[in-house]
A and B are shown apart, each in its own frame.
Chain A
Amino acid sequence: MANEDQQGTTTLQLVLAWSFVGIPLALGVLQTLINAMKLFQ
């Protein structure tokens, strides 16, 4: 665990970490937006 920190954070790690939480959240938001559009129909 300690050794992996020694090299610092790579861009790939940042992209993976943000994608891990961002993709499910974005899909959920998109689904909610589609449902919310029914308000304007």
Chain B
Amino acid sequence: MGALSFLDRSHTIAKPGFSRWMVPPAALCVHLCIGQAYAFSVFNLPMTKLLGINQSTPDDWKLTELGWIFSIAIFFLGVSSAVFGRWVEEGGPRRAMFTAALCWSGGFLISAIGVYAHMLWLIYLGYGVLGGCGLGIGYISPVSTLIKWFPDRPGMATGMAIMGFGGGAFIASPLSVWLMSTYSTPTHIGVAETFITLGIVYFFFMMVGAMIVRVPAPGWKPQGYTPPAVPQKLITQHDVFVYDALKTPQFWLIWWVLCLNVTAGIGVLGQASAMSQEMFPGRVTAVAAAGFVGLMSLFNMGGRFFWASTSDFIGRKNTYFVFFALGTVLYCLVPHTGSIGSVAAFVICFLIIISMYGGGFATVPAYLKDMFGTRYVGAIHGLLLTAWSMAGIFGPVLVNYIREYNITHGVPKAQAYNTTMYIMAALLVAGFVCNYFVKAVHHRFHMKTEQEGEHLRARAAMTSEPAGA
């Protein structure tokens, strides 16, 4: 392991004079790359015509088959962040970023072989499984490091990184389209070459982040920063061991808070284009709907930074109260915007809703830090991301099936989404209740000393090999 010793946590400890403002760009190097996942749909249509070129042949892949690639990747995002969270936390951010870069770019290269050989299972394995692991490890890799560098503004710091995940699609989408057009010929669609190029570019970009990143020296504090003299009720000064966090009601309440907030947002995010056109037939064209989706993506990204930064001032619990209360009101208003024919009101409602969807992702690491301390926050965050995987399955299914049910029962298309909006509002009410019950973690879960931490880690290593492997 000598050649790879530069990846060790000990080699990433910052020396005096290192600026903490170098760490957010390092985190963004990773998150901007893995955020490509949101733009994967640009490959869907070209991949349905790899054999037929101009039109699909019976042997070409179907859209429904290709839809599984993204779903598998998001599933493995949740699984890998949960399984490898503790390894990421203890191995340090550089090792995690390096591993994420290998998985992410390796996923693209395997997928390129899958496209060449026209074997879909290779793409499921490459982009879905391996790339999904890169997503999970990369997503959590900078979180606890940022929180340790910015104890005065943890929400803003993690918001910046997670904003990058929302923004990655803005780069990936035009870049992928341009690469495909460059590599394509009248007899060939350049998807495989695009995958290879993206794999190489993303590996380089993520490695820059891995080389820049540093962890603060033990006991480091920002200049002029003094921790609050009077302990705040919902911000702990103690740490909770990663697996002990699972035994607390707070973990599961926040799990549901994230799951419900994401379910409500993700369902409409995927349907925004169709919904706007069906609710305002003849007034919102396909081109305008595409513009609406782009605007939603911008608010999804901006909301991550805005709401996470706001949470530093108003508190995490209050921030989620805003998401759930305001979200409920806005979802209930959407059907009325359709009935009065106000496109502007409809757009405003959804832009605010989607900003809070992004804000939910970005605020949750700081919420966990407040509840469980900084020591294992990355690993606990990894476990919590299983809520995202769950929401990724339920959200779109809920929206699609309710719409189908309504249409088959004679509801006009313009009103087919009304029931869905009220169900989303109900989900947010449930989230509000979960958030209400989040209290400070009981002191029996707190790690007492560093020695106890070592003992717990040793015990866990004997009983659960994968996390510590």
Contacts and interface: CB of A to CB of B under 8 A. Distances in A.
B16 A8 contact: yes
Contacts of A13: 19, 22
A30 to B, nearest CB: 9
B164 A7 contact: no
A31 B19 CA distance: 32
A39 B327 CA distance: 23
A38 B170 contact: no
B295 A5 contact: no
Chain A binding surface, main DSSP class: helix
Contacts of B25: 17-18, 20-22
A9 B18 contact: yes
Chain B binding surface, main DSSP class: helix
A7 B288 contact: no
Q: Which residue, of A14, A25, A32, A33, has the highest number of chain B Cβ atoms within 10 A?
A: A32
Interface residues of A, number: 29
Contacts of A27: 171
B292 interface: yes
A37 B287 CA distance: 10
Interface string B345-360: 0010000000000000
B167 A14 contact: no
17 contacts: A5-B15, A5-B214, A8-B17, A8-B18, A9-B21, A9-B22, A14-B22, A20-B29, A21-B29, A25-B28, A25-B170, A28-B170, A29-B167, A29-B298, A29-B301, A35-B291, A39-B288
Given A32-B170, A32-B298, 19 more contacts: A5-B14, A7-B17, A8-B16, A8-B17, A8-B18, A8-B19, A9-B17, A14-B22, A17-B25, A17-B26, A21-B29, A21-B32, A21-B164, A25-B32, A31-B174, A33-B294, A36-B294, A38-B291, A39-B292
Interface of A: 1-2, 5-9, 13-14, 17-18, 20-22, 24-25, 27-29, 31-33, 35-41
Please provide the 5 A-B residue pairs with the shortest distance between their CB atoms, ordered closest to farther: A8-B17, A28-B170, A39-B291, A5-B15, A9-B19
